[in-house]
Chains A and B, each alone.
Chain A
Amino acid sequence: MKKIILILIAFSVLFGLSSVFIVDETEQIVILQLGKPVRNITKPGLNIKLPFPFQEKITFDNRLLEYDSPPEEILSKDKKTLIVDNYVRWKIVDPLQFLKTVQAIPTALSRMDDIVYSELRRELGTHDMVEIITDNREEIMEVITTASNIATKDYGIEVIDVRIRRVDLPNENEESIYARMDAERKRQANKFRSEGEEEAQKIRASTEKDKTIILADSYKQAERIRGEGDAIAVDVYAKSYSADTKFYEFVRTLDTYKKIIDDKTTLVLPSNSGLFKLLLEK
């Protein structure tokens, strides 16, 4: 009798404990009734269920979960091979459905991988490589996320974000990009050097031109000034000498004698000239 009472007390305590439980902020619960999933508890707090073995609970994560799929080779619309490394952020939104369809996370990940990969492949196949790399990346990821989300709904999963972490080219394509970059830079370097030569030539040529002009201009001015000088001199001479042309001729002739007869001159003079007339008369 005493034993029976003790056993009863122990049982009721166990019953009580197995029917009251805490749901954490980070958890969500599925209640199984005799092994059959019957309801979801997604709100945190204190909860009650029928005691074991009538009902039991299975706990799932309520947080945003991550899945990093391995890099995949994908063909773009313009038939270029891209190595796409993407990751997925997802959540269990309906644990009951999740439990019924995929049971546990590893199965869920493999289903999700299939879905996301096929969406990725399909969507990237409709874009050229340039679009994938440049402006459209955000939109493309949006489309893939939405499409994946529709497909994973049946598993009680919501795909929050499919994000392309890296898009790279296969090694051999990278080599050809490097070759192109190299050529492009060499072209630029050559252009700079040629431009330098061109500019320098231009400057030198214009220098020569300016020099010639400056000198010619100066010559022009100089000659003009000389001419002025000559003109004034002529005028001065003319004005003065025309006062007595004969005398000028006489004086100028004497001057000329002085200038043209120098030390080297040997004079042969006829003795009957005016000068020596007196010398020989006697």
Chain B
Amino acid sequence: MQYKRIIVGDQEIKVPSLSLGALPIAGLALLIWLLSGVYIVGPDEVGVVQTFGKYSRAAQSGLNYHFPYPIEKVSTPKVTEVKRVEIGFRTVGKNQYQTIERESLMLTGDENIVDAEMIVQYKIKDPVAYTFNFIKPELTVREASEASLRTVIGRHNIDEALTSGKFMIQEEAKELIQNILDKYNTGILIVAVQLQDVSPPSQVIAAFKDVASAKEDKNRMINQAEGYRNDVIPKARGEGQAMIREAEGYKEARIARAEGDVFKFNAVLKEYRKAKGVTETRMYLETIEEILQNKEKILVPDGEGGGNLINLLNLKAKGDK
């Protein structure tokens, strides 16, 4: 180190001389200090710049500059990144989930208990509020989500929660979570709320499944009865139609027969009228001929009594044996 010698009165003091050798070092230090203000904002980030601690401006993606510490500083929250919290379960590995009953079991409006799981996705909508206004973002979203889900499930009864009301519950929960986060001025936007799985608690799941199978049983019984009906009624109709057709046949036949008989009768009558006596005798004898041919005949002489006839018949019966 070089010194300048200065005489003050009768004293001599040594003062370090600011030689040219020290200047470049100071200059270099200054340059490095100034360059420390160069920073890059990633494509998924926004730069939030504070001047003397106070928020002064937002910086867009790319190469940026701020005055070096301690004058200015920057933080770069990821504003496009969508984060998620899981309520009622945790993803522990790829496609592996673990239910957390402490979180997932909750009371419904009709004092039943359901097991509900939900995913909440969120991102930063206001990087300034997000950076300065609150602590523990993930915990904040988790607590708001859990409180909201329970509040909303509490407004619905168990059957709504298990079936038809799912979409509604999801929408109500989303709105409520957003309201809470807005109240805390977090700058967080709820992107999506997905109600994963709402099911009865494991203790009673068998009874719920049995209700479903009872419903099936009911349908099955009705279907069987309908099947029976579909079998029986057409058969009965067929049977009925058969009866009617048969009767129609009978009718036609009866008429035809009558007409036939009448036709024959008229024809014979016509002939008969031509020669009444002869025809009558002829018809009589023809008939008798036809009847008595090949028949057993017993001729009884005049005046014979009934007793003889009986004896005769007995005799004949013996002879036949």
Contacts and interface: CB of A to CB of B under 8 A. Distances in A.
Interface stretch (A32-40, A61-69, A108-116, A146-154): A61-69
B233 interface: yes
Given A163-B180, A181-B200, A267 B53 contact: no
Interface residues of A, number: 108
A240 B264 CA distance: 10
A207 B233 contact: yes
B288 A275 contact: yes
B39 interface: no
Contacts of B203: 178, 182
A229 B217 contact: no
A170 interface: no
B143 interface: yes
Interface in B193-235: 200-201, 203-204, 207-208, 210-211, 213-215, 217-222, 224-226, 228-229, 232-233
A201 B221 CA distance: 9
Q: Is the interface of A mostly helix, strand, loop or mixed?
A: helix
Interface residues of B, number: 105
A271 B302 contact: yes
A121 to B, nearest CB: 19
B167 interface: no
A15 interface: no
Given A165-B150, A267-B297, A210 B283 contact: no
A190 B214 contact: yes
Contacts of B251: 225-226, 228-229, 232
Q: Which of the listed residues A207, A208, A224 has the most CB atoms from chain B within 10 Å of its own CB?
A: A207
A147 B201 CA distance: 37
B4 to A, nearest CB: 14
B257 A270 contact: no
A4 interface: no
Contacts of A261: 291, 295
A15 B42 CA distance: 41
A44 B49 CA distance: 13
Given A199-B218, A240-B262, A263 B53 contact: no
A200 interface: yes
Nearest to B210: A189
A272 interface: yes
Given A27-B53, A44-B50, A251-B265, A161 B244 contact: no
B78 interface: no
Contact of A271 (B143, B262, B300): B300
B140 interface: yes
Interface stretch (A49-57, A93-101, A211-219): A211-219
A89 to B, nearest CB: 6
Contacts, number: 295
A66 B204 contact: no
A258 B290 contact: yes
A35 to B, nearest CB: 25
B302 A137 contact: no
A16 to B, nearest CB: 14
B107 interface: yes
B109 A133 contact: yes
B272 interface: yes
A22 to B, nearest CB: 4
Contacts of B171: none
Contacts of A223: 247
B36 interface: no
Nearest to A266: B296
B252 interface: yes
A7 to B, nearest CB: 16
A229 B252 contact: yes
A164 interface: yes
B315 interface: no
A186 B210 contact: yes
Given A214-B237, A226-B250, A236 B255 contact: yes
The list of the 8 closest CB pairs from A to B, nearest first, reads A218-B240, A229-B251, A196-B218, A222-B247, A233-B258, A196-B221, A189-B214, A203-B225
7 contacts: A66-B135, A168-B107, A177-B113, A185-B207, A193-B218, A244-B273, A272-B302
Interface of B: 13, 50, 52-55, 70, 105-107, 109, 111-113, 131-136, 139-140, 143-144, 146-147, 150-151, 154-155, 158, 180, 183-186, 200-201, 203-204, 207-208, 210-211, 213-215, 217-222, 224-226, 228-229, 232-233, 236-237, 239-241, 243-244, 246-248, 250-255, 257-259, 261-262, 265-266, 268-269, 272-273, 280, 283-284, 287-288, 290-292, 294-302, 309
Interface of A: 2, 22-27, 43-46, 61-66, 68, 87, 89, 129-130, 133-135, 137-138, 160-161, 163-169, 174, 177-178, 180-182, 185-186, 188-193, 195-197, 199-204, 206-208, 210-211, 214-215, 217-219, 221-226, 228-230, 232-234, 236-237, 239-241, 243-244, 247-248, 250-251, 254, 257-258, 261, 263, 265-272, 275-276, 280
Given A181-B112, A196-B222, A200-B224, 17 more contacts: A25-B132, A44-B50, A63-B135, A133-B154, A165-B150, A167-B154, A182-B203, A182-B204, A196-B218, A199-B221, A214-B240, A241-B262, A243-B269, A265-B295, A269-B297, A269-B298, A272-B302
